[in-house]
A and B are shown apart, each in its own frame.
Chain A
């Protein structure tokens, strides 16, 4: 008993507690900034959605308008630009994010096969992250440099065009921005590659001994282990796609701040609805790819399952032979 007390005294002396309290001092600047520039603006903007806000001589006048024809939300729904743009944004996210994740994963797997010049490829794939900004992507898209070659002149494309214009249109929609889509894979490729390199080689060995082929290793070992990375990548991509020139919603929000009829209230409503959509998208990504606590068991049980499947197959073969 006495011994325990001395141990406690040793580990929980006042100096250590005080030293830990120093941490508050270290995070103080960030914390103040967080309260001032994140927490307060977040809730203030949500509060704004219920008001028609006009600025009169350096002060903002708040006028409650939620009771008048749905207030800002009604106006937002009736707005000609906002909802079509929002739907465009959702469609873009829904098509780009899976493409980016899949392409990045494939690239990472190929880079991880031990090709020579891996670092050169990594440098090339990461380059767009550095130079990508609103105006630059905007100009490259406007110029058509973002489209995949001159697909219009391509013979195969013309053949498809003559057989089925609808399919050609869908394809051109993908190809017209394909390079830009690829440009977003810069960081995902690195993340995936890093995750793949961390997989214990013994897992592959064990699977091979049990008779697994490359395809099975890919689906039952690599994919489950990389899943948490895919979730983080998806969140990152969802956020990144929003911030570039590809997203017209941002500019509608910005423009409506300055127009008198709409004002800050409507802009806040736009921003609020947009944020809800982004949170929803992240939620969907979490639902599909998240839930990381399961992963630890998956790696082991997948091998066990593989083992059992192979044994079952062998037995089936033997039975078939015996029957024959």
Chain B
């Protein structure tokens, strides 16, 4: 009994000692501990938010591999029991993949090209020259960003209709239902979010030191040479940024495309928008028509189609992600 008591008291004193030691430690290292705790809290929060950001994408990818039996099976949450690519085959057929892919890339590329060139020229004028009405024009340019698209689009649509009719440019492959109207608008600097693209260029071109231009002028360079040999050659990275943004925005654009192009051109985005109605006619495998009666519209097909339409964008993003973020930083719309 005594030994037990002695042991107990020993243990007690030890714990007391430990307690005081930890207290001492906490007292001396207070800032460090609070720092570590706050860091952990910050990380947990950031990771949770990142998970919420990515959740729809993960869910979409997971669903796109599921068969209809996996969808109704409550045990299957993330990983499908049978891994199959059949959803992608059907989705590719419904989207008319081979046509849509070429069209989407081609038109996004063309529109982005025009937009980038015109934005660069306009940005150069705003950044380099002092001319009458510059401030007014620049303000109008920025304000034009907040004008909602529908109020312009109604008249733009009428304009293009009457223009094509008066010129006689109608029929298949001409006028409306083709990409020509949007290409014209992009050529005149009125594409998707053109104001932002011009702003990116203006703010970057302003950073180029004036001495370079002075030197160029003394050597007898004309404005076009100044533009090409100094401005463009020095700002290749910005040009890439603007081009990528323009490409992505044109790829994702639906409203204007719906009005001016309509069903005329197959694109990933507009095919995806009409997925439900297209499914009935295109889903069946042409090689095995007898299967078609069993085909049902299941969300997995839709998810697979969404994944397909997003993959090119994801590829672009992961190759050029740094320049995307820098591009937004470069716009300089953060207060200066």
Contact = CB atoms under 8 A, between A and B. Distances in A.
Contacts of B151: 41-42, 45-46, 268, 271-272, 274-275
Interface string B157-198: 111001001000000000000000000010111100010001
B24 interface: no
Contact of A131 (B134, B150, B194, B314): B314
Contacts of A183: 53, 56
A312 interface: no
B134 to A, nearest CB: 8
B25 interface: no
Given A30-B118, A48-B154, A124-B53, A275 B46 contact: no
A contacts with B: majority SS: helix
B125 A26 contact: yes
Contacts, number: 266
A124 B335 contact: no
Given A123-B325, A239-B146, A110 B334 contact: no
Contacts of A282: 146
Contacts of B141: 30, 34
B265 to A, nearest CB: 15
Contact of B317 (A20, A130, A179, A271): A130
Nearest to B155: A41
Interface in B239-264: 248, 251-255, 258-259
A40 B125 contact: no
Contacts of A232: 333-335
Interface residues of B, number: 89
- Pick from B46, B118, B165 the residue with the most CB of A within 10 Å: B46
A135 B254 contact: yes
Interface residues of A, number: 92
Interface in A204-244: 228-229, 232, 235, 238-239, 242-243
25 contacts: A20-B131, A21-B131, A26-B122, A26-B227, A29-B187, A29-B189, A34-B190, A38-B147, A42-B152, A107-B46, A111-B46, A115-B43, A126-B321, A131-B252, A131-B310, A136-B306, A140-B60, A145-B55, A182-B49, A190-B325, A194-B329, A232-B335, A271-B154, A275-B148, A295-B335
Interface of A: 19-24, 26-27, 29-34, 36-38, 40-42, 44-46, 48, 58-60, 107, 110-111, 113, 115, 121-136, 138-140, 143, 145-146, 148-149, 178-179, 182-183, 187, 190-191, 194-195, 198, 228-229, 232, 235, 238-239, 242-243, 249-250, 253-254, 257, 264, 267-268, 270-272, 274-275, 278-279, 282, 292, 295
Given A46-B151, A271-B150, 7 more contacts: A23-B125, A26-B121, A31-B137, A125-B50, A135-B306, A145-B55, A194-B328
